[in-house]
């Protein structure tokens, strides 16, 4: 077990636990109906991303307010709660209780911010191009007893907004928020997928992208 202190601004620092949990991957892959890793015929970049599914998921205890926290299952390819997660929530919480106001989070990751805001009365729609992020967010929301709508879609690597019509149908939104990944820019011939592996699966154009490979 590793203890960390990724908590919201101005909050006392209870431990942020990361616990490797065997068996979680099986639950997630069953949810996505993935029976095995991709065959060797799948191209290199896509195969490398999908092979990350063999890594263990972890359970994070994230304290977003004094004496309030969430238990979150975070697969290996999904962005976990970090310092920037706490900072984003602390800024949004200054808007007060949602009282039914609508919020869209682009790039939900494990669902930490969306779930915390749903607990404060916001009507939350959240999206991510990583199907494991959507599976994790949906499961984490259910476990933490909150209602939200999680949609697979958003801005992909090519700058296109996938599933835009479905996402927009949930609006209009009072707030749209996006916690951009803090990644160094790609240099020269450096492979694009490398620094993105920790943040999530990337929608590539080769062989119809990873979505087809997952199916």
Q: Which domains does the chain show, CATH number per domain?
A: 2-180+197-203 (3.40.50)
pLDDT tens column, 173-192:
999 999 876 645 555 555 44
Least confident of 50-54, 95-99, 143-147: 50-54
The angle subtended at Cα 151 by Cα 149 and Cα 155, nearest 5°, is: 135
What pLDDT sits at residue 197? 44
The Cα-based distances of 23 to 26, 81, 142, 143 in angstroms read: 5, 21, 19, 17
Sheet holding 2-4, edge to edge: 2-4, 16-20, 58-65, 68-74
Contact 149, 125 (CB under 8 A): yes
What pLDDT sits at residue 194? 45
Query: What tokens does 55 get?
Result: 């890594």
Query: What tokens does 105 get?
Result: 């989070």
Long-range CB pairs of 194-199 (<8 Å, 24+ gap) are 197/48, 197/49, 197/52, 197/77, 198/77, 198/79, 199/79
The answer to whether residue 12 scores a pLDDT higher than 90 is no
The Cα-based distances of 41 to 44, 72, 177, 213 in angstroms read: 9, 34, 38, 10
Query: What does the alpha-carbon distance between residue 165 and residue 72 come to, in Å, rounded to a whole number?
Result: 29
61 secondary structure, DSSP code: E
Arithmetic mean of pLDDT, 194-200? 44
Q: Return the percentage of the chain with pLDDT > 90, whole number.
A: 31
């Amino acid at each position: 077990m590793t203890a960390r202190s990724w908590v919201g601004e101005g909050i006392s620092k209870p431990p942020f636990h990361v616990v490797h949990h065997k068996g979680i991957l099986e639950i997630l892959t069953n949810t996505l109906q993935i029976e095995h890793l991709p065959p060797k015929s799948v191209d290199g970049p896509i195969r490398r991303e999908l092979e990350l599914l063999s890594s263990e998921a972890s359970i994070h205890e994230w304290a977003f307010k004094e004496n309030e926290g969430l238990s979150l299952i975070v697969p290996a390819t999904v962005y976990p709660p970090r310092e920037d997660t706490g900072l984003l929530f602390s800024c949004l919480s200054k808007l007060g209780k949602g009282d039914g106001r609508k919020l869209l989070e682009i790039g939900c990751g494990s669902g930490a911010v969306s779930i915390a805001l749903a607990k404060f009365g916001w009507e939350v729609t959240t999206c991510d191009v990583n199907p494991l992020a959507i599976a994790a967010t949906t499961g984490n929301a259910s476990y933490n007893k909150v209602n939200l709508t999680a949609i697979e879609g958003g801005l992909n690597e090519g700058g296109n907004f996938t599933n835009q019509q479905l996402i927009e149908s949930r609006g209009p939104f009072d707030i749209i928020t996006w916690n951009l990944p803090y990644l160094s820019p790609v240099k020269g011939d450096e492979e694009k997928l490398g620094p993105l592996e920790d943040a999530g699966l990337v929608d590539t154009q080769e062989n119809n992208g990873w979505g087809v490979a997952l199916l």
